[in-house]
């Protein structure tokens, strides 16, 4: 009987843990900020000769459902803040930490397990738009 009770408790603890663990391959609407943490590479499909950009995203200390980090592009570094909500991805970029210099608006690609995002990058000063593909570089699997 004691062995049965121990097994039952272990099973209950495992079920609780399973509910707290993010899905191994989340659907776009299941993506949370934690799935975005890590390194990403941005490519510009309309300009394949253009250098890629590298983004590093981490937990936002004040906004728990958001990320913050940096983007490195063309030798320039900028701060970024954003989130993923119901499959939609939004990132604001700031060169000076005061004003928004660009926006990244996209959608998590269905079937990518949250590791690919496609959308449009918009320069806040000129309005220039450029299609982007963000792909996860390592991180959670």
Tens of pLDDT, residue by residue over 72-120, are 998 999 999 999 999 999 999 999 999 999 999 999 999 999 999 999 9
Q: What is the pLDDT of residue 19?
A: 52
In 3D space, the residue among 104, 109, 97 whose CA is nearest the CA of residue 123 turns out to be 104
Predicted TM-score (pTM) of the model is 0.79
Name the average pLDDT for the chain: 86
**DSSP letter, residue 51:** P
Dihedral sign from CA coordinates of 118, 119, 121, 124: negative
Q: What is the pLDDT of residue 141?
A: 45
Please tell me the class of the 27-137 domain. mainly beta
Q: What is the pLDDT of residue 11?
A: 46
pLDDT confidence tier of residue 2, bands split at 50, 70 and 90? low
């Amino acid at each position: 009987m004691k062995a049965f009770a121990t097994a039952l408790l272990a099973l209950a603890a495992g079920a609780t843990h399973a509910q707290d663990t993010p899905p191994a391959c989340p659907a776009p609407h299941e993506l949370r900020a934690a799935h975005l943490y890590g390194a990403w590479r941005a490519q510009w499909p309309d300009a394949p000769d253009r250098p890629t950009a590298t983004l590093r995203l981490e937990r936002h200390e004040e906004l728990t459902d958001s990320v913050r980090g940096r983007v490195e592009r063309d030798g320039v570094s900028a701060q970024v803040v954003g989130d993923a909500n119901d499959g939609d991805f939004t990132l604001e970029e700031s060169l000076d930490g005061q004003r928004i210099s660009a926006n990244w608006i996209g959608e998590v690609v269905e079937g990518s397990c949250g590791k690919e995002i496609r959308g449009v990058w918009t320069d806040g000063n000129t309005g220039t738009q450029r299609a982007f593909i963000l792909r996860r570089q390592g991180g959670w699997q």
